[in-house]
Amino acid sequence: MDKVVASAAEAVADISDGATLSVGGFGLCGIPSVLIQALLDAGTTDLEAVSNNCGVDDWGLGLLLAQRRIRRMVSSYVGENKEFARQYLSGELEVELTPQGTLAERMRAGGSGIPAFFTATGGGTQVAEGGLPWLYDADGNVVVSSPPKETRAFGGREYVLEEAIVADFGLVRAWKGDRHGNLVFHYSARNFNPLAAMCGRVTIAEVEELVEPGEIDPNDVHTPGVYVHRVVALTPEQVADKRIERRTVRPVRKV
């Protein structure tokens, strides 16, 4: 089945207001920036995004956040996005902060048909006991907080029950993909992308290099096409448009 669509705009056209999105990337590495821009152009709003972080103020999911298109984030950290922190603390954005490994496993479990799992992460803390602030009001009062979670002891250690995540749509970026949706990610850009692809009911992949079926060695496939429903081939200009979250350099050493 040829899953290639003509444009990013066409690929995201049926993402409705209020949808839940699982979005690949870590910082700005491997984010589906073209699909995010297409959502911005489409005017889609009231979104819930499941992603390790929310981009930066002027790139990635930060673009949607700046336009008040995201109502809720499920993520691991705020990162370099000052607007993310401001909206959260001022009561404009609901945020479910989740330990990074737990978030990854919740997404993987959602794509594997596993409804929940036990993990030691968060045992004995508010992650298990509840009370983590999810939503503030304008005066800084907590109006929504995390509920307590079921815990059980295994081998004398406490474990916390975490529910899987299944999103309406998954948005990912791959280095290489074929027309059947088989994907290969490039080094660290692999990060959350396979997990975001797995847990989306409908997954859309933007690919830097589109190849024909059979050109990717099956042993090299990171995400099988069974998880991918639409493929968008990027232009050379779109491929080259990448940003660095924080550029750090050493001073020139004088000799």
pLDDT digits (tens, 9 = 90+) for 185-225: 999 999 999 999 999 999 999 999 999 999 999 999 999 99
Query: Is this structure's pTM higher than 0.85?
Result: yes
- Mean of pLDDT values over 7-35: 98
pLDDT in the model for residue 116: 98
CB neighbour list of residue 255: distance below 8 Å, 6 or more residues apart: none
Is position 169 within any domain? yes
Tokens standing for 74? 């499920």
Is position 251 within any domain? no
Quick one: 159 and 233 in the same domain?
A: no
Tokens standing for 253? 């050493």
Is position 249 within any domain? no
- Mean of pLDDT values over 42-46: 98
Per DSSP bridges, beta strands 183-184 and 167-178 are: antiparallel
The residue segments making up the domain with residue 125 are 116-163
- Mean of pLDDT values over 93-112: 98
Tokens standing for 57? 């103020």
pLDDT in the model for residue 245: 84
Quick one: 108 and 60 in the same domain?
A: yes
CA distance linking residue 71 with residue 93, whole number of Å: 5
Confidence of residue 142 (pLDDT cuts 50, 70, 90): very high
Tokens standing for 110? 């959602």
Query: Residue 79: is its pLDDT beyond 80?
Result: no
pLDDT digits over 237-246, tens only? 999 999 988 8
Tokens standing for 160? 């916390």
In 3D space, the residue among 75, 35, 16 whose CA is nearest the CA of residue 203 turns out to be 35
Total tally of structural domains belonging to the chain: 2
Quick one: 156 and 184 in the same domain?
A: no
CB neighbour list of residue 66: distance below 8 Å, 6 or more residues apart: 57, 58, 83
Beta strands in the chain (DSSP E): 20-23, 47-50, 70-75, 94-97, 116-119, 133-136, 142-145, 151-154, 157-163, 167-178, 183-184, 200-211, 230-233
Is position 253 within any domain? no
Final residue of a domain: which of 163, 192, 225?
163
Provide the residue type at 63 as one letter: L
Is position 35 within any domain? yes
SS3 state at 167: strand
- Give me the CATH number covering residue 67: 3.40.1080.10
Angle at 39 between CA 240 and CA 56, to 5 degrees: 60
Quick one: 82 and 159 in the same domain?
A: no
pLDDT in the model for residue 32: 98
Quick one: 125 and 68 in the same domain?
A: no
CA distance linking residue 24 with residue 108, whole number of Å: 12
